Chains A and B, each alone.
Chain A
Amino acid sequence: MYAQLVKTAGTGVKTREEMSDEERNFQDRVDRDEKIEPKDWMPDDYRATLIRQIGQHAHSEIVGQLPEGNWITRAPTLERKAILLAKVQDEAGHGLYLYCAAETLGVSRDELTEELLSGRMKYSSIFNYPTLNWADIGAVGWLVDGAAIMNQVPLQRTSYGPYSRAMIRICKEESFHQRQGYDIMMKMAEGSEAQRRMAQDALNRFWYPSLMMFGPSDKDSVHSAQSLAWKIKIDTNDELRQRFVDQTVPQAKYLGLTIPDENLKWNEERGAHDFSEPDWAEFFNVIKGKGPCNVERMEARVNAWEDGAWVRDGLLAHGRKKSAARTAAE
């Protein structure tokens, strides 16, 4: 999940009696699965929460390019390099779809960028972990994109039209990402003993951070209930995490790799796997900026923004000059 710990604005779910006429109409439309479009009336808290959620999602796509970009120049073959390049380019595209969706809610692109660079808005905790070797690129595609898909597929049905349409485009492209990751893992797992060890080591390091992507357990949260009622969250964090574990276990088994959790076992009664929770203290630490790569990631984004300023300004000046010349000629 690329949006974690998104604070829902407002005071929780209102009863129908507490709602104004406008709020009641709005909730009825959401309940009927009608899409809410940019110019439609919407509660301020719905708008504010969506800006946070879509913004965080967009930032995650953009920052998510960094750990993988790290391996473009070091991919083992030209084909792997071309594939990784295409994947990283997709992530940029996903970020752009999402920024545009957020902008329809009345926030500007520059505002969103500044929120990220100042650290006021977050991106997914997963991208604060390093990619140390080629097997990590496999693990990221397989597990990280796998977890993202788990979250994004239900969000295609979200109530906000532009967000839903962005999700539909993203989901169409995302499945290539997970498969290319699994393909790398298959190659490594079938390779030499050293390659197999690298694959196992990548799984060991990415397993718990991937489980953290869904965010902490939200069964007791009032805020989560409001986001569910607005259909900007479709499933709870725990439901998605469970689904991810159940889906990944047979995939790991096929690779002959061991998921680093001795409590992991099939629970016949629940029809699902029991598994260990990730270390939530570590998660909150990473969110607070103390993960292994937080500083490096933010530096890379700030530098890209500052170093690119003269290009943005130059192109804008050129565009304005051309358009003024055209107007003068008319």
Chain B
Amino acid sequence: MSKEWPLWEVFIRGQHGLSHRHVGSLHAPDAEMAIKNARDVYTRRNEGVSLWVVEAQHIAASSPEEKGPLYEPSNSKVYRHPTFFDIPDEVGHM
């Protein structure tokens, strides 16, 4: 069994009420230490007000080969964007 501490991915909520955002990763023996280490490694300059850590092995990710089938279908559906529809100026703001 490897003696290396598990890898954790670190997410930080910035000051302005935004979602938690991935900032990087680190090694730690458990969640508690991962939070402490993340505080030291990723928030030395007021980067955030809340931390999430999750063990990297628990993250499922889409693979680059699926990029086409997964994301291309939305390219043809331009009507999902409001700019697709022309609204006459007389109608006012919509």
Contacts and interface: CB of A to CB of B under 8 A. Distances in A.
Interface of A: 37, 39-41, 86, 89-90, 93, 96-97, 100, 103, 108-110, 165-166, 169, 173, 312-313, 315-316, 318-319, 322-323
8 contacts: A39-B61, A89-B40, A93-B44, A97-B24, A97-B41, A109-B4, A318-B30, A319-B6
A103 B7 contact: yes
Given A93-B44, A97-B24, A316 B29 contact: yes
B88 interface: no
Contacts of A39: 61, 63-64
Most buried by A among B2, B41, B44, B63: B41
Contacts of B2: 108, 110
Contacts of A323: 30
B33 interface: yes
Interface residues of B, number: 21
A315 B5 contact: yes
Interface string B1-44: 01111110000000000000000111111100100000011001
B77 interface: no
Given A37-B64, A40-B64, A315-B33, A110 B3 contact: yes
Given A316-B5, A319-B28, A322-B30, 7 more contacts: A39-B61, A39-B63, A97-B41, A103-B25, A109-B27, A315-B30, A319-B6
Contacts of A40: 64
A173 B43 CA distance: 12
Interface in B58-85: 61, 63-64
B41 A316 contact: no
B4 A110 contact: yes
Contacts of A108: 2, 4
Contacts of A89: 40, 44
Contact of A319 (B24, B30, B40): B30
Given A90-B44, A109-B27, A316 B3 contact: yes
A97 B38 CA distance: 11
A324 to B, nearest CB: 12
A96 B40 CA distance: 11
A4 B3 CA distance: 31
